[in-house]
Structure 1
Amino acid sequence: MNLKHLLILSFLFVAVFRPTYVYSQYKLLKSSEFRIDSFLPVEIIDYYSKNDLYLAYINKPEVTEILILDQDGNILVQKVLEGEGPDQSVASLNSMAFTDEGNIWIQTPFQILLYDQNLNLKKRDKYLSRSQVYLFGNMKIFSFFFQNDIPASFSFITNPSGVDWSMDNSDFKSRNLLEIFQPEFDKQIEFAPISDRGISKYIDKSIGGLYFPIYAIDRSNNKLYLTTSFDNEITVYNLNSLRLESSIKMEHEEFKALKNSVITGKSLSTYNNKITLTARNHKILKSAEELIILNYIREISPLTYEKKIKSDPTYHHFKDPTYHRLILFDQNNQLSGDIPMPKNGKLMISLPGKRLLFQIVDPEVEEDFIRYEIYEVVKK
């Protein structure tokens, strides 16, 4: 075979086997850091940009404490809000968030409570939900919005992002992924049907509690960005009409379950048929700069997992930053391939200016403080 034929074959090989998508190259560039004086992990949930405040919590052996921090990590307010006191709740604290005015919403399975910045209770309201969720020690962001920007149309999603809401497997594909409560009308509205999702025809009811919604709300334009634990798209809903507007396709570099013709409980990788080792989508964040950030978890092999638990019986790859990846999107398209996390970094929240906040916990070093680092998303 002469050189001419080799060149032709090489060209044909590249043309046939080159990747369908070529994404821009992005990286995370560290911009700053701060420390919080605490022996226990401080989990930051939200940020109030007008006063540079963080909203966080600490899990103690018997209670969850709510914290308000300044931008340097100094604890300004620290209070136990679980209990039977007049300012407390007897139920699980599921989620929380700053209001636009700087107050704090806290959600339980059947109440929402409004606090000021000193964590003094201002009011509490009851609500009903089809499926009550109890997230002891695992708080999420409280997702609320105002339909058509009318203050009286205050609404919130009752089932937090990233949480199994205990669906009945018998009517799996007829269910909606989200439930909204509207206090003004004292009513629930379900929307975002599973049947809207392109993946719905490939999922089997046997994946049950492993299939759940993952979403983020953008109140600036009243949109919701929704995916699920096993999914290859982000759907965009208009929260004024609760209608599907568009879909953004996603390509993970490694998500074996999505390559199966049918996704069933048996097709997912496990250890001893008990511990889930499969990949899954984990979190969505929306930045003020129209950037959508997906955090997903890669699969771990049974052999690697077995080696890990021999040295640490509590190990799970869901909690291991080395298996977490980020993918970036704009309003219409995927922008990047997989982006690794910072070393020992756990993604917490997005910050103004295409910045992301990471909690840094080195499992090999015991420290008397919690380290946080802020990274900017930049093109290489």
Structure 2
Amino acid sequence: MKIFLIKTSLFFCATFLSSTLSAQEYTFKKVKEIRVESLAEVGIRDYDPKRDIYLGFIDKRSEGVELAVFDGNGKILNSQKRDGEGPEDYLSSALAMGFSPDGNVFVQTSLELVKYDTQFIRLSKVRFEPKTTIVVYSGPRSKFVPLTRGNDVSFIVNGTNLNNRGFNDVPKKMDMIEYYNAGSQTIQSVIPLSSRKVFEGIEDEVFPVSINPIFIIDSKNSNLYFTTSIDNEITVYNPINWNVIQRIPVKHEFFKALEDIPLKEANLGLSNKSPLFSRNQKILKFDSELLGLIYVKEISEAANELRKSEGKTFWMNDPEFQRVILFKNGVQLPGELTIPSGLIEMTLPNNRVLVKVVNQKEELDYYPYEIWELVEQ
């Protein structure tokens, strides 16, 4: 009887281990290369599958940033510089951009929302007064996030993964989302940092790191998926009343800062140099029941100094340090995925992602992108 119980116990242990250590359900497979007709840096922020066109920008450095529309193969259909003081221009740096439901283009800054046609001729402009002004370099950092539809649109003011904290803001009193309410034409704040379990113990008025909001909206049901750069939960909100719909716990393989909750300053391993701890970067909403979270894993100070001496790319921009966690119906799947050739810019239809190629050794006469697809193994 004792031998039978031991064998039974070993059987269940083996079954448990095989289920927890099972192979990943999905993997990334490259399906297409895109050659953007530009030697300057290109960023792509939105895609229209009906017209097979992309929306983004071309950073020409001293010549400025041009807003641009590309076809499905990377040909530039139109590009225009629109930051300035002219009648067609926006006054401050663009934070986000995206296609509007009617096929035009939204460009959002810290001070205004401008609507253009695809030739970048201005159609309308909404001015507002934010609580914190955000300045970014190069082009828009993310896709525009509307909260409502129609002519008068409500939208999130502070861009995803951008620090909206002022010099005198006390972290425990911070709200992570500021949005423009089209009905009242006012800026409103929601999602207090103190509501995140990770930061429940933070009392310091001077917190040593920036805490960036990270979010994306599901275009099908308009739910908002939210986390922060240092967080172990994705929270799903109804952006009409800001009620919580779902809480999705996250377990990272590499995230020492989150080993103790609430977060302590000692977890961050700070030095006088740039922070080297892990951080979340982007939420990916696929067109199925799949959700993704991109984070960059930590690096030791010695390894970082060695990379510098060898002339390697900044570690946060190296695909080697990028990790993708997948969730299916709100449950985290085993393992973490990588894409060796580059960094994920955005999701595309059919469980695909657009990847900006960065591990390219030879000189090219075009700016390289790739499309990768999530496939079941």
Q: TM-score, normalized by length of structure 2?
A: 0.90
Whether 1:91 and 2:89 are equivalent positions in the alignment is: no
| Partner-residue secondary structure (3-state), 1:328 | strand
AA paired with 1:282? Answer: Q
* Structure 1 residue aligned with 2:273: 274
**Quick one: distance in 2 between partners of 1:209 and 1:282?**
15
Mapped contact 1:94–1:109 kept (Cα < 8 A) = yes
Q: Structure 1's 170 and 42: CA in aligned 2 closer, same or farther, altered over 3 A?
A: closer
1:217 alignment partner in structure 2 = 217
Q: Distance in 1 between matches of 2:29 and 2:279?
A: 26
Q: 2:105 is matched by which residue type in structure 1?
A: I
1:372 aligns with 2:351: no
* Aligned residue number for residue 38 of structure 1: 38
Number of aligned residues: 372
* Paired residue type of 1:115: Y
Q: Is 1:82 matched up with 2:83?
A: yes
2:39 and 2:176 map into 1 onto residues whose CA distance is 37
**Counterparts in 2 of 1:45-194, with a 5 A limit?**
45-62=45-62, 63-139=64-140, 140-146=142-148, 151=150, 154-167=153-166, 171-194=170-193
- The 5 A counterparts of 1:220-235 are 220-235=220-235
Taking a change above 3 Å as real, the CA distance of residues 5 and 331 of structure 1, as seen in their structure-2 partners, is closer
CA distance in 2, matches of 1:261, 1:283: 22
Distance 1:21 1:177 in 2: 36
CA distance in 1, matches of 2:162, 2:350: 28
CA distance in 2, matches of 1:167, 1:11: 57
Alignment-derived partner of residue 239 in structure 1:
239
Deviation, structure 1 residue 18: 8.3
The answer to whether the 8 Å contact 1:235/1:248 transfers is: yes
Q: Which moved more, 1:326-335 or 1:153-162?
A: 326-335
CA distance in 1, matches of 2:302, 2:8: 43
Deviation of 1:329 after TM superposition, in Å, equals 1.5
Letter in 2 for 1:124: K
Stretches of structure 1 lacking an aligned partner (at least 5 in a row): none
User: Which deviations, in whole Å up to 9, do the C-alpha atoms of 1:235-254 show, x marking residues without a partner?
Assistant: 00011222111100111111
Give the secondary structure class of the aligned counterpart of 1:54: strand
TM-superposed CA distance for 1:86, in Å, is 1.7
Q: Distance in 2 between matches of 1:190 and 1:249?
A: 24
Quick check: 354-363 or 319-328, which moved more? 354-363
- C-alpha change, 1:337 and 1:153, in structure 2 (3 Å) is farther
Structure-2 separation of matches of 1:335 and 1:169? 40
Q: Distance in 2 between matches of 1:10 and 1:138?
A: 57
Structure 1 residues 17 and 333 mapped into 2: Cα distance closer, same or farther (>3 Å)?
A: closer
Shift of 1:11: 6.6
Structure 2 gap ranges (5+) = none
Q: Quick one: distance in 1 between partners of 2:48 and 2:211?
A: 32
Q: 1:336 to 1:352 in 2, by over 3 A?
A: farther
Q: 1:273 to 1:122 in 2, by over 3 A?
A: same
**Paired residue secondary structure (1:275):** coil
Residue of structure 1 in register with 2:332 after alignment: 334
Structural RMSD (CA): 2.6
Distance 1:30 1:203, change over 3 A: farther
Deviations 1:158-212 (A, max 9, x none): 0000011124666312322101102332112211222332222255645454211
Change (3 A) 1:88 1:152: closer
Q: Does 1:323 align with 2:321?
A: yes
C-alpha change, 1:252 and 1:274, in structure 2 (3 Å) is same
Alignment partner, residue 361 of structure 1: 358
Secondary structure at 1:339's aligned position in 2?
coil
Match of residue 297 from structure 1:
296
In 2, the alpha carbon distance for the partners of 1:237 and 1:123 equals 29
Whole-Å Cα distance in 2 between the matches of residues 276 and 204 of structure 1?
21
Question: Could you give the per-residue CA deviations for residues 137-160 of structure 1, whole angstroms, max 9, x where no partner exists?
Answer: 1412111121xx6x2662100000
Q: Deviations over 1:334-358 (max 9, x none)?
A: 13421012x2311011010000110
Flag the 1:38–1:235 CA change in 2: closer, same or farther, 3 A.
Answer: same
% identity of equivalent residues: 30
Q: Does the 8 Å CA contact 2:55/2:69 hold for their aligned counterparts? A: yes
Superimposed CA distance per residue, residues 271-316 of structure 1 (whole angstroms, 9 cap, x where no aligned partner): x522111100001121222321111000111111111001228x42
Deviation string 1:302-333 (CA, Å, 9 cap, x unpaired) is 111111001228x4211111100111113421
Cα deviation code 1:4-38 (max 9, x no counterpart): 99979967986998886867421001111110121
